[in-house]
Amino acid sequence: MKILLPVLSICLVVASGEARARDSVNVHVTVVGFKSDDGSCRLLLFESQKGFPDARGKAAMVLSVEILERSADFSFRVRPGKYAIAILHDENANERMDKTWYGKPKEGFGASNNPKVGLGPPGFEESAVLLDEKNSSLTITMTYL
């Protein structure tokens, strides 16, 4: 009995880890179209429109990687669902979007679904994607104004 209880506990831990793995999906995001390899690429993942596209504190996930050969790659796990991704080419590594005095972005940006750029940033709904086992790879193209 002394051996059976620890073995049973280990089996339960392993089984719960496998259940969590089945409840999540591996996501791969490739970002292309950088004008240089300077700085870093930041990804903000949002579960709702609250804070999208640039409120870092409202993002469900914030990741940053180096830019190599004018592209960047991210891999992460999430529960299947609807998300929107915002991308920033943080050229000067100050962890924010630099803008002109009248609000025009000085650095590159992008969003999931590659929405057309209008007078303001893209909205959550036009950037939202369903991430699940069938849809787990995205390519986002940078925009520079």
Which sign, positive or negative, has the C-alpha torsion 111, 116, 121, 122? negative
Q: What whole-number distance in Å separates Cα of residue 28 and Cα of residue 143?
A: 20
- For 112-132, what is the mean pLDDT? 94
Q: What whole-number distance in Å separates Cα of residue 59 and Cα of residue 45?
A: 6
- For residue 144, how many other CB atoms are within 10 A of its CB? 13
- At 112 the pLDDT is 98
Q: What amino acid is encoded at 96 in this protein?
A: R
For tokens 């300077």, what's the residue?
38
Q: Which two tokens stand for residue 108?
A: 């590159």
pTM of the model: 0.84
Q: What is the per-residue pLDDT across 57-88, written as a single tens digit (0 to 9) for each?
A: 999 999 999 999 999 999 999 999 999 999 99
**What value does the mean pLDDT of the chain take?**
89
Q: By C-alpha distance, which of 88, 121, 91 is closest to 104?
A: 121
Q: Which whole-number Å values give the CA distances from 48 to 6, 41, 68, 126, 129, in the listed order?
A: 42, 22, 30, 12, 11
Q: What whole-number distance in Å separates Cα of residue 120 and Cα of residue 7?
A: 58
User: Residues with Cβ < 8 Å from 85, sequence gap 6 or more?
Assistant: 29, 43, 44, 45, 46, 111, 112, 127, 129, 138, 140
pLDDT for residue 143 is more than 80: yes
- At 38 the pLDDT is 97
